[in-house]
Amino acid sequence: MANKKKSLNSIFLDANVIVKVLDGFEVPELFEFADTSEIYTSAVCFNIIAYLWEIGKIDCSKDEFNKFFASITLLEVGEYECFQALEISNYKDIEDGIQILCAQNNSMDMLLTYDKKMFTKYHNNGSLQMILCK
């Protein structure tokens, strides 16, 4: 895992966006910024995606899986994000809180998600611009 280095744009992908990409769907919101951005996700998202891929819930080859994750940067999630997520999530959908905190603590410019509840709850949360994918 690497520490985030500031780029022109830094985009954090929620797990549901990665699932769509690996399943072969176009995510226009991602492609709109991809050429001028560095793409990130959390180690927690990687864990979620790896599990879903292992049990056959994501339809991509091993090579596609490896190529995708080689093209993005994984961000660490630590004790701080985990315990703060309990508070900001009010113990409901803690994983969303972890993703928000990971993105914020690494100074991400944007977070892309398909999660309407997450977007509604956190879209006005500091300087992180959240984009709800359609």
Pairwise CA distance, residues 72 & 13, whole Å: 10
32-67: pLDDT as tens digits: 888 889 999 999 999 999 999 999 999 999 999 999
CATH of domain 9-132: 3.40.50.1010
68-121: pLDDT as tens digits: 999 999 999 999 999 999 998 887 889 999 999 999 999 999 999 999 999 988
The pLDDT value given to residue 7:
45
The pLDDT value given to residue 32:
87
The pLDDT value given to residue 3:
52
